């Protein structure tokens, strides 16, 4: 995407090169150079002229982002195990030995601690309960391959995750409204007693090399890779997902290692007289007998792209590029499509199970992946640099048509500091996809491990859960128009050149700006505010009126600055510990006018539906859409709604209990209040009105004196979300 300002007018356009072959890309400040080693050269031009127009045009071509279930916007934690380590009495890692009382399966998502033992289901249960005790919101518990039997897909460890106990645990969390997701890697273990492998061989589903299934190594040891370009593979994969779902009723699937990642390179065979993997040493060390493949131009092309950023051979630690897919397609041409094709097959499989809306998280992506899957940004480091870089990555993927995206909170590796975890959860709580995730070598990092992090998590995630109706509406808008959930500031302020290169702040939707601390030891943040009035979402009496300038904001350890822009109506709820309970709480509408304005207008919207249904649309009888409007004119405030298909919201009984209006220049009393055309007499209803003066971070002269503004709250309302309402109130003069 290119955005330029010509004579004060912004113009955006974009170009897509749709090519799946290997390439180098060079950026030189004023030019981009693509060096591509094969394939089709299809170029597409998207004319804009706004950034939102570009993404709308782009996603209309590549596929609109997938609808996400409501619970997917909640907070995630999980556990992971690759192999067993032994700990001494002080909790230090030692050599692998026979199982003992302090043995554990180290985990890959917050939960990996020698002295606590994550090798069985009881530890996962403890994690869930500890989140409850700490009053930290939690919607989804994840398992990496610790639930598996020998790291094999679609299996259960009969000792550590016995099916009867796992099903009882799932009944318990499902009854609370929580969900359960597990990992699946594409590599299928070569094992003659493994049903998934046997059925794969019988259906001829694997990528070939010299006429035989291509042999690689991932966590189970020797594996073959399914060829998702083959229709037989898609059918086989769907059947395996169905079989596993009958075994364990998971709520989504996490597809990892699907670049595809291979611990070996070249042409490999299983060594004779040697166990592979051996059970000693890291599981990612190649233990197959392998030879380099250099005999073809597919494996050793004339131009050497900078594969993996390491100047290594093109087939390094992945599928050999002369391997063959269905219908003779070479891996050389299809490599970049692997994770994409797996996401399509997995989406089809999940949707075919119970007719529910699928949730899939994929590490590998391609043009169009957002139509099928969410994405996390891979194995980021627990460093301040990567915290900062995570914002850039999340914003990029929104532009790429993958709006449901986030980075591993606190970093995947190595050990983050307590301060970094505080600051990361304050950012990560506002990622579209918010998940805690860490490497098994890191010490314990659950959000409840540090009191300071617990407080920051309660604060930031508490606000996220209040914002769920707004985030879900953004999910709907992403699905229907491609609009990113998290956006660079220039999406809303394309004419304001100062924000073009800004990647330390971001917007959720068009109006909600997050300005986090991204540097060690800082208790304030220098934040850019585009012109207009901005209101602190955590304390709406705090106002910033900007001419387009930087402000220094206080940001002690537990504080993240989130500001709402003028001319907005923001729907919120009261929050809760899980999205299911948060979703049924009463609504509040936050209406923002420019501070002290005499005339203004504001808009907002709200989308609600049965999020189990595959489609996210109006017209099915299970959805409601509401446009919200407000005007300030001639001393009167008017607020009203226009509802489409209100029956669903009415059946749910959702009500608006409170309306907060920000930026008013005068007070309001109930004597001038009318709702749906009827006056509301003083003392004749449960409606309460209160007002507070707003504090301006920087006084702005208006030619007469210092600007003043009020926050006015109306509570005790009883307005059905599913019915049109209109309200008006008259203002007095502020003292």
- Out of 139, 227, 251, 256, the active site residue is 256
Asked if 668 contacts 637 with a C-beta cutoff of 8 angstroms, the reply is yes
Q: How far, in Å, CA of 143 to CA of 80, rounded?
A: 6
What pLDDT was estimated at residue 563?
Answer: 98
Q: Which long-range contacts (CB under 8 A, 24 or more apart) does 626-629 make?
A: 626/721, 627/603, 628/569, 628/571, 628/589, 628/603, 628/604, 629/569, 629/601, 629/602, 629/603
What pLDDT was estimated at residue 735?
Answer: 47
Q: If you compute the radius of gyration of the chain from its CA atoms, what whole number of angstroms results?
A: 27
**Given the structure tokens 């093109």, which residue do they identify?**
314
- Out of 53, 379, 498, 669, the active site residue is 379
Neighbours of 170 (CB within 10 A): 18
What pLDDT was estimated at residue 472?
Answer: 98
Residues of the chain with CATH 3.20.20.80: 70-77+108-372
**CA 5, 604, 428 angle in degrees (round to 5)?**
75
What pLDDT was estimated at residue 448?
Answer: 81
* SS3 state at 187: coil
Is 256 known to be catalytic?
yes
Strand partners, 602: 630
Sign of CA dihedral 342, 362, 183, 266: positive
Token couple for 551? 């402000």
Q: Hey, what CATH topology would domain 70-77+108-372 get?
A: TIM Barrel (3.20.20)
- Contacts for 59 with CB less than 8 Å, ≥ 6 apart: 65, 370, 401, 481, 482
Token couple for 581? 């309970």
Q: How far, in Å, CA of 303 to CA of 307, rounded?
A: 11
Asked if 508 contacts 471 with a C-beta cutoff of 8 angstroms, the reply is yes
Is 379 known to be catalytic?
yes
Peptide bond into 260 cis (omega under 30): yes
Give per-residue burial for 360-377: e unless 16+ CB within 10 Å, then b. bbbbbbbbbbbbbbbbbb
Is 259 known to be catalytic?
yes
- Out of 139, 251, 259, 386, the active site residue is 259
Please state which CATH number belongs to domain 586-732. 2.60.40.1180
525 Cα distance to chain centroid: 24
What pLDDT was estimated at residue 415?
Answer: 85
pLDDT digits (tens, 9 = 90+) for 113-143: 222 235 789 988 988 999 999 999 999 999 8
Q: Where are the beta strands (DSSP E) in 350-391?
A: 360-362, 374-376
Q: Is 311 exposed, middle or buried (0-12, 13-18, 19+ CB in 10 A)?
A: exposed
- In this prediction the pTM is 0.93
Q: How far, in Å, CA of 516 to CA of 648, rounded?
A: 37
What pLDDT was estimated at residue 281?
Answer: 64
Q: How far, in Å, CA of 579 to CA of 139, rounded?
A: 7
| Low-confidence spans in the chain with pLDDT less than 70 | 78-118, 279-281, 440-442, 444, 682-684, 699-707, 733-735
CA distances from 691 to 538, 569, 639, 666, 672 (A): 17, 18, 17, 10, 15
What pLDDT was estimated at residue 575?
Answer: 93
Residues of the chain with CATH 2.60.40.1180: 586-732
């Amino acid at each position: 995407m290119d955005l330029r300002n010509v004579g004060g007018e912004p113009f955006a356009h974009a170009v897509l090169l749709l090519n799946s072959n290997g390439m180098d890309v060079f950026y030189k400040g004023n030019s981009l150079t693509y060096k591509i080693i094969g394939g089709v050269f299809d170029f597409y031009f998207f004319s804009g002229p706004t950034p939102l127009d570009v993404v709308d045009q782009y996603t209309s071509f590549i596929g609109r982002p997938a609808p996400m279930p409501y619970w997917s916007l909640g907070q995630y934690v999980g556990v992971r195990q690759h192999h067993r380590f032994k700990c001494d009495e002080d909790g230090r890692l030692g050599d692998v030995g026979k199982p003992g009382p302090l043995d554990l399966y180290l985990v890959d998502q917050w939960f990996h601690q020698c002295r606590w033992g994550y090798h069985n289901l009881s530890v996962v249960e403890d994690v869930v309960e500890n989140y409850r005790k700490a009053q930290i919101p939690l919607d989804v518990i994840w398992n990496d391959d610790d639930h598996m039997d020998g790291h094999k897909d679609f299996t259960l460890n009969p000792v550590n995750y016995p099916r009867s106990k796992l099903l009882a645990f799932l009944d318990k969390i499902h009854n609370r409204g929580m969900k359960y997701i597990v990992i699946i890697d594409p590599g299928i273990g070569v094992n003659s007693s493994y049903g998934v492998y046997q059925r794969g061989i019988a259906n001829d589903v694997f990528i070939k090399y010299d006429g035989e299934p291509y042999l690689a190594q991932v966590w189970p040891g020797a594996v073959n890779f399914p060829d998702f370009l083959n229709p037989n593979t898609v059918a086989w994969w769907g059947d395996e997902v169905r079989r596993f779902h009958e075994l364990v009723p998971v709520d989504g699937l996490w597809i990892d290692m699907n670049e595809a990642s291979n611990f070996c390179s070249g042409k490999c065979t299983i060594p004779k007289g040697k166990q592979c993997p051996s059970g000693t040493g890291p599981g990612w060390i190649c233990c197959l007998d392998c030879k380099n493949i250099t005999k073809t131009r597919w494996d050793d092309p004339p131009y050497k792209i900078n594969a993996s950023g390491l100047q290594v051979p093109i087939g390094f630690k992945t599928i050999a590029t002369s391997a063959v897919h269905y219908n003779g397609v070479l891996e050389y041409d299809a490599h970049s499509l692997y994770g994409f094709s797996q996401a399509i097959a997995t989406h089809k499989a999940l949707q075919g199970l119970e007719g529910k809306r699928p949730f899939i998280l994929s590490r590998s992506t391609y043009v169009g992946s957002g139509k099928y899957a969410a994405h996390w940004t891979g194995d980021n480091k627990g460093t301040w640099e990567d915290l900062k870089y995570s914002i850039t990555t999340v914003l990029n993927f929104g532009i790429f048509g993958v709006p449901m995206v986030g980075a591993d909170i606190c970093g995947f590796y190595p050990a983050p500091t307590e301060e970094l975890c505080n600051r990361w959860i304050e950012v990560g709580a506002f990622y579209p996809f918010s998940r805690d995730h860490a490497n098994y070598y890191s010490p314990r990092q659950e959000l409840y491990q540090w009191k300071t992090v617990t407080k920051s998590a309660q604060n930031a995630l508490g606000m996220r859960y209040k914002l769920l109706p707004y985030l879900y509406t953004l999910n709907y808008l992403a699905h229907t128009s491609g609009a990113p959930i998290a956006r660079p500031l220039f999406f809303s302020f394309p004419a304001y050149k100062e924000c073009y290169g800004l990647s330390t702040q971001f917007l959720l939707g068009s109006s909600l700006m997050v300005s986090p601390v991204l540097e060690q030891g800082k208790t304030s943040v220098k934040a850019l505010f585009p012109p207009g009035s901005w209101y602190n979402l955590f304390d709406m009496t705090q106002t910033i009126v900007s001419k387009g300038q930087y402000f220094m904001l206080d940001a002690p350890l537990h504080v993240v600055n989130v500001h709402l822009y003028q001319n907005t109506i923001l729907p919120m709820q009261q929050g809760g510990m899980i999205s299911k309970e948060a979703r049924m709480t009463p609504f509040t509408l936050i209406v923002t006018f420019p501070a002290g304005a005499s005339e203004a207008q504001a808009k907002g919207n709200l989308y609600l539906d049965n999020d189990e249904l595959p489609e996210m649309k109006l017209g099915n009888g299970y959805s409601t859409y509401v446009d919200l409007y407000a005007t300030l004119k001639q001393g009167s405030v008017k607020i009203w709604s226009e509802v489409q298909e209100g029956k669903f919201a009415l059946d749910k009984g959702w009500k608006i209990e409170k309306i907060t209006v920000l930026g008013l220049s005068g007070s309001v009393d109930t004597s001038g209040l009318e709702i749906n055309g009827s006056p509301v007499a003083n003392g004749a209803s449960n409606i309460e009105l209160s007002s507070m003066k707003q504090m301006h971070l920087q006084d702005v002269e208006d030619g007469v004196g210092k600007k003043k503004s009020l926050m006015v709250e109306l509570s005790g309302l009883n307005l059905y979300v599913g019915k049109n309402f209109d309200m008006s109130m008259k203002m007095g003069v502020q003292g």
